[in-house]
Structure 1
Amino acid sequence: MSPRTDLVTALLGIWFGAGLMIDAWAHSNLAELETFFTPWHAVFYSGFAVVSGWIIWQVWRNVRAGRQGLAAVPTGYLGGLMAIPAFAAFGLADMMWHTILGIETSIDIFFSPSHLGLVVTMMLIITTPLRSAWNAPHVDARPRLGRLLPALLGLAFATTLVSLFLSYGDALHYRPQAIVQAFSMAQDSGAAPQGSGPRPVAVGADRVAVAMVVTNVIMLSPVLLLLRRWLLPFGSVTLMYAVMVLMPGAQTAFRNLPILLSFVVAGFVSDLLIRRLRPSGERRAAYWAFAGLSASATWSLYIGVASATGGGLPTVPELWTGAPVVAGLIGLALGALFLPNAVTAQRGRGDRT
């Protein structure tokens, strides 16, 4: 597909993803919902309709041009095409589920079978531009930001879906004061997260520490995936992190804005690291170094911003000094898992299939 076609697919996917964010905001911040038919569901499902219609239209154009069977499906678009009827079926099942059993209002929303079906098929649809660019022969190993933009948007919005369904372990939900207080005590306070909404102020260090591990993996993994295929142009990680923080921002009504902004800054720092280290599948040492340093810098900023806006440094130094080190080691481990062996240029082309 042409870059312009992929960009339209990505932009329509934003409509789709934004609809889910609005729905997540409603479930987290409004009073108990009693019906499936809501304005935010209208935005969500209309987004599905327009992006699905666009994908089907691309296939139909090829059919009219004389292509038959799978040859009519643009490269990278097959997964999204197959997910369209599956998403519609899960949407119908979700409506029936809510009609019979009611609307979920707490952590059970993330374990509903119909919701899990919707999120998996939605991921296949909105990552269509990523698969298209990944397999495009004219996208070289050092693409410009504009050429890679559809893929970045698709993968970033897909990551927000993962963060949504793991939001009970999302470190971006905590406010600065809660982070400082948590790292000022070594014992768990016993306070439990309240569904997908804002975290309580009294929360134990163990909960924040576990959430940092989960979020570290969720945020860094997509970047490491892309770095196996391309040397990312400057601004790529900043853009992706700016999109990724929108989901926890919507769920908390952006009441934890300093923490969200710390991740956008962390994306900028990661872009600087990419420019300096030039990590790639062929440069394993640089790839590993980036994974560890990016993770450590991200969570140093997280704790630093929390301290600056939440009342000062935590009183347990082992916690706030060691947490970025743990994050860096986890990042290094992720780097080794994503790239255990250096990928030669010839194997790198093979990875595109």
Structure 2
Amino acid sequence: MSPRTDLVMALLGIWFGVGLMIDAWAHTNLAGLETFFTPWHAVFYSGFAVVSGWIIWQVWRNMRAGRQGLAAVPTGYLAGLVAIPAFAAFGFADMMWHTILGIETTINILFSPSHLGLIVTMMLIITTPLRSAWNAPGLGARPSLGRLLPALIGLAFATTLVSLFLSYGDALQYRPERIVQAFSMLEDSGAERVAVAMVVTNVIMLSPVLFLVRRWMLPFGSVTVMYAIMVLMPGAQTAFRNVPILLSFVAAGLVSDLLIRRLRPSGERRAAYWAFAGLSAFATWSLYIGVASATGGGLPAVPELWTGAPIIAGLIGLALGALFLPNAVTAAPVPPSAVSVEAVPPGAADAERA
């Protein structure tokens, strides 16, 4: 598909994703939800309708142009197309579930089978621009930010879905004061909960970045854009009462972009890739604790916790780097048929033999 088509798909996906964020806000902050038919569900399912309509329209256009069967489905759009009826089926199941068993308002909402079905199929739909860009023949290894933007938006919103359903381990939902308080006490289990949440969130946020860095040399601003989108879900769930912590992650995205520019990590440069993975995680969580301390009442009282936590994060980032890229990827050799005979200057073969 053309970049414009993918961009429209990504922008409609924002409608879809924001609808889910509004629904997450309602379930977290409003008490007494007793019906499936709510304004936020209307935004969510209307987003599904427009995204689905756009995918189906692309297939229909190709069919009118003479393509038949799978040939009518644009590259990268097949999984999204298949997920449309599956999402609708899970949506109907969710309506019946709520009608019979009621509306979930606590942690049980994250384990509902109908919700899990919705989230998996939604991920397939919303990451369509990523799969399209992944297979685009003319994209190259160094795409511009504008060209890669639909893929970044799709993957970032998919990451928010993961963070939503693991929100019981989301470090971005803590206020600065709570982080400082937790890391100032050893007897209370609060320090353990924050530390575990930092590990979970570190993996969730860094993994999609490493996934893209192995495929492309990301243009400057890519990680900042992704992190700015990723913090929207925990922001919605907490009614944006923890803005300093959310902004620390946006700043961490900017630092990661600077690291990419300096280190130039890629699938062919394993050492640089590993270094980026570790340093990006270390910088992210150093900023997290630094901003929490600056806005939450000062440095935590237990120095081992606030000094060691970023180091642990960096080591986990390094481990993720080794997991994503255990061996350097070698560049594909140019096939002999690709070499033009006419391009060889006269006498070059004799010089080569000599």
TM value normalised by structure 2: 0.93
CA distance in structure 1 between the partners assigned to 2:311 and 2:87 by the alignment: 41
CA distance in structure 2 between the partners assigned to 1:14 and 1:286 by the alignment: 33
CA distance in structure 2 between the partners assigned to 1:292 and 1:151 by the alignment: 24
- Shift in Å at residue 187 of structure 1? 2.5
Could you say which residue in structure 2 is the equivalent of 1:193? none
CA distance in structure 2 between the partners assigned to 1:329 and 1:220 by the alignment: 12
From 263, 267, 290, give the equivalent of 2:253: 267
* Matching of residue 317 in structure 1 with residue 300 in structure 2: no
Could you say which residue in structure 1 is the equivalent of 2:205? 219
Could you say which residue in structure 1 is the equivalent of 2:280? 294
String of CA shifts for 1:4-25, please: whole Å, max 9, x gaps.
Answer: 0000000000000000000000
Could you say which residue in structure 2 is the equivalent of 1:44? 44
CA distance in structure 2 between the partners assigned to 1:212 and 1:187 by the alignment: 19
CA distance in structure 2 between the partners assigned to 1:335 and 1:188 by the alignment: 33
**8 Å CA contact retained: 1:269, 1:294:** yes
**8 Å CA contact retained: 1:119, 1:161:** yes
String of CA shifts for 1:7-52, please: whole Å, max 9, x gaps.
Answer: 0000000000000000000011111200000000000000000000
Counterpart of 1:50, as a letter, is V
Counterpart of 1:284, as a letter, is R
SS at match of 2:103: coil
* Matching of residue 235 in structure 1 with residue 235 in structure 2: no
From 250, 263, 269, give the equivalent of 1:283: 269
String of CA shifts for 1:102-155, please: whole Å, max 9, x gaps.
Answer: 000100000000000000000000000000000001000000000000000000
Could you say which residue in structure 2 is the equivalent of 1:244? 230
**1:104-115 → structure 2 map (5 Å cutoff):** 104-115=104-115
CA distance in structure 1 between the partners assigned to 2:20 and 2:260 by the alignment: 31
* Matching of residue 76 in structure 1 with residue 76 in structure 2: yes
**1:1-353 → structure 2 map (5 Å cutoff):** 1-189=1-189, 204-346=190-332
Runs of 4+ in 1 over 6 A off after TM superposition: none
Could you say which residue in structure 2 is the equivalent of 1:199? none
- RMSD value, Cα: 0.7
String of CA shifts for 1:217-270, please: whole Å, max 9, x gaps.
Answer: 000000000011100000000000000000000000000000000000000000
Counterpart of 1:265, as a letter, is A
CA distance in structure 1 between the partners assigned to 2:252 and 2:316 by the alignment: 16
- Shift in Å at residue 186 of structure 1? 1.6
CA distance in structure 2 between the partners assigned to 1:220 and 1:53 by the alignment: 32
Counterpart of 1:14, as a letter, is I
CA distance in structure 2 between the partners assigned to 1:22 and 1:140 by the alignment: 37
- Shift in Å at residue 188 of structure 1? 3.0
Counterpart of 1:119, as a letter, is I
TM value normalised by structure 1: 0.94
- Shift in Å at residue 178 of structure 1? 0.3
- Shift in Å at residue 185 of structure 1? 1.0
**8 Å CA contact retained: 2:31, 2:105:** no
CA distance in structure 2 between the partners assigned to 1:69 and 1:288 by the alignment: 43
Identify unmatched segments of 5+ residues in structure 2. 334-354
SS at match of 2:332: helix
- Shift in Å at residue 346 of structure 1? 1.5
**8 Å CA contact retained: 1:24, 1:251:** yes
CA distance in structure 1 between the partners assigned to 2:215 and 2:173 by the alignment: 31
**8 Å CA contact retained: 1:188, 1:207:** no
Counterpart of 1:101, as a letter, is L
Larger Rg computed on CA atoms: 2
